[in-house]
Amino acid sequence: MKNLRSAIAPLALLLAGCASGQKYHEKAMDFAAVKTVAVMPFVNLSRDNLAGDRVRDVFSTMLLSSGAVYVLPSGEVSRGIARGSLVTPATPSRDEVVALGKLLSVEAVITGVVKEYGEVRSGSSTANAIALSVQMLETTTGKVVWAATTTKGGITFGDRLLGGGGEPMNRVTEDAVHDLLQKLFR
């Protein structure tokens, strides 16, 4: 049984590096009507205390650079959170999303969860990996109109064979965010 586990663990990490995740699109939603969005602080479930902030910054920057929407600066979002007295800004209720939409003049709010961020190990091999989920809520109803998950990085066959350390964490994060944005715009 122990040999079976040791044989399956590298395969699971290899497959995790190739995983692209799931997505949901609300069919009735007119995404062209979304001009301005607020990216809320991300929930961080990883061991790295700053992972949520780092991933939120990368996500906001890459979304803004897409030119598809205007992303409200994080300072403006923070002021809106304070003015709206949101108790848990990373997981706002429907009513809080609607109120925040009016307060910040945004058509959508984006929330996220960083599930894994950092180094993973298998035997003597190490590599960086990230797993995250993001969702978009429209501010007229507070309803989820888009959601997606992704997992990037992990230990590849080449890492195990040649002892490489995998991709740098910033590249793995950018790959994950790029994958999410591809799911948003498809």
Q: How many CB atoms lie within 10 A of CB 94?
A: 12
- The CATH class that applies to domain 2-14+22-185 reads alpha beta
Q: Kindly tell me if the per-residue pLDDT of 17 is higher than 60.
A: no
pTM > 0.85: yes or no: no
Report the mean per-residue pLDDT for the chain.
85
CA dist 99 and 114 (Å) reads: 25
At 8, the pLDDT band (50, 70, 90 cuts) reads very low
Q: What digits encode the pLDDT tens for the residues 78-97?
A: 999 999 999 899 999 999 99
- More confident: 7 or 141: 141
Tokens of 96: 């809080």
pLDDT for res 164: 66
Residues in the chain: 186
- More confident: 74 or 186: 74
* Mean pLDDT value of segment 16-22: 53
Q: What digits encode the pLDDT tens for the residues 122-178?
A: 777 788 999 999 999 999 999 999 999 999 998 877 766 676 667 889 999 999 999
Going through 3-90 in order, the beta strands assigned E by DSSP cover: 23-25, 36-39, 43-44, 70-71
User: To the nearest whole percent, how much of the chain has pLDDT over 70?
Assistant: 84
pLDDT for res 113: 97
**Strand, helix or coil for residue 39:** strand
